[in-house]
């Protein structure tokens, strides 16, 4: 009896809003596989109906992935190919799928990427912040104290930071980011990417926090928050301990005052010379532009 070759696990990116973003290759894969492992079968069912895909589905979400993975691995080992999809975007990126992918790879099963939409990458591409290096943090903790602790730990991170956030928490998160990173740090709130009301709000954390309070639209829909990385640390005759104090003072003052006035006040607060504070203010301002 011939040995049946193992199937493949296809990790298929699906639209995050605009259905036109489903690639031809993704559609062909969804039609050809024996089964689709979906985060929410009702949600994916609507997508499949739109494209006349009749492939059967099984659910694979945060609460059953560990239990369902052995069953799916057995099907793959038996020769069936499976498409893994999440509700939107790329599976396993702040979505279920990691455990299944890891188990399939460990079992020697081919895991194939069918790339496509990803909210984090889409937001970076339109945000206007540095993209040569970035740090994806996914969802911050829902509890305020845990969220603030996580942000404090990221305060010195020099790469652009990428967060996913719930609309009902975005105003509070912007406030916490301003406290941890400084109100003058540049940021972008990208909402409803690829959808009818796609909007990118750009400004400082202080400005965006105020905007979130005044404009209810900012806190509607799916949200990606980008925050510019920390500027390089100040060197004042070597490590004299003043850099952190000066940066903190300038972060607040530059958001409210002209550069020269902010630098003069920050110099007094941090105990450094005026010209040193002015040079640092120029660096911070350039990094925020």
Q: pLDDT value at position 252? A: 82
Q: pLDDT value at position 237? A: 39
| Token code pair at residue 283 | 């660096």
Q: pLDDT value at position 243? A: 53
Alpha-carbon span 71 to 213, nearest angstrom: 48
Condensed to tens digits (0 to 9), the pLDDT of residues 170-195 reads: 999 999 999 999 888 999 999 999 99
Alpha-carbon span 160 to 156, nearest angstrom: 11
Quickly tell me which residue has 């109906």 as its tokens.
49
Condensed to tens digits (0 to 9), the pLDDT of residues 122-167 reads: 999 999 999 999 999 999 999 999 999 999 999 989 999 999 999 9
Alpha-carbon span 247 to 270, nearest angstrom: 9
Binning the chain into helix, strand and coil, the percentages to the nearest 5 are 45, 15, 40
Alpha-carbon span 111 to 11, nearest angstrom: 7
In sequence order, what DSSP letters do the residues of 22-63 get, joined into one string?
S-HHHHHHHHHSSEEEES-HHHHHHHHHHTT----EEE--TT
Whether pTM exceeds 0.85: no
| Token code pair at residue 219 | 């806190």
* Helix 274-288, helix 243-253: angle, nearest 10: 60
Quickly tell me which residue has 């806190």 as its tokens.
219
Q: Which fold has domain 9-117?
A: Cobalt-precorrin-4 Transmethylase; domain 1 (3.40.1010)
Average pLDDT, stretch 10-38? 98
The CATH code of the domain at 120-227 is 3.30.950.10
Beta bridge partners of 89: 14
Alpha-carbon span 149 to 152, nearest angstrom: 5
């Amino acid at each position: 009896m011939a040995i049946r070759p193992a199937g493949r696990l296809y990790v298929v990116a699906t639209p995050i809003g605009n259905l036109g973003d489903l690639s031809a290759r993704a559609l062909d894969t969804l039609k050809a596989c024996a089964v689709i492992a979906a985060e929410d079968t009702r949600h994916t069912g609507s997508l499949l109906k739109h494209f006349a895909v009749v492939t059967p589905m099984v659910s694979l979400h945060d609460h059953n992935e560990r239990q369902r993975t052995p069953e799916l691995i057995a099907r793959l080992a038996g020769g069936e190919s499976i498409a893994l999809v999440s509700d939107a975007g790329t599976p396993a990126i702040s979505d279920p799928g990691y455990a299944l992918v890891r188990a399939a790879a460990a079992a020697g099963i081919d895991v194939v990427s069918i790339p496509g939409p990803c909210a984090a990458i889409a937001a970076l591409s339109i945000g206007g912040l540095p993209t040569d290096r970035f740090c994806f943090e996914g969802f911050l903790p829902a509890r305020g104290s845990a969220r603030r602790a996580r942000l404090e730990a990221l305060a010195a991170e020099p790469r652009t930071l990428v967060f996913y956030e719930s609309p009902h928490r975005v105003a509070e998160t912007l406030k916490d980011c301003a406290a941890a990173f400084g109100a003058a740090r540049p940021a972008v709130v990208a909402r409803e990417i690829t959808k009818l009301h796609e909007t990118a709000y750009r400004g400082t954390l202080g400005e965006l926090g105020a905007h979130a309070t005044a404009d209810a639209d900012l806190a509607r829909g799916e949200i990606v928050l980008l925050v510019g990385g920390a500027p390089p640390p100040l060197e004042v005759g070597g490590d004299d301990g003043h850099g952190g104090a000066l940066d903190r003072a300038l972060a607040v003052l530059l958001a409210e005052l002209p550069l020269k006035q902010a630098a003069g006040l920050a110099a007094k607060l941090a105990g450094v010379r005026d010209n040193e504070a002015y040079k640092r203010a120029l660096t911070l301002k350039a990094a925020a532009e």
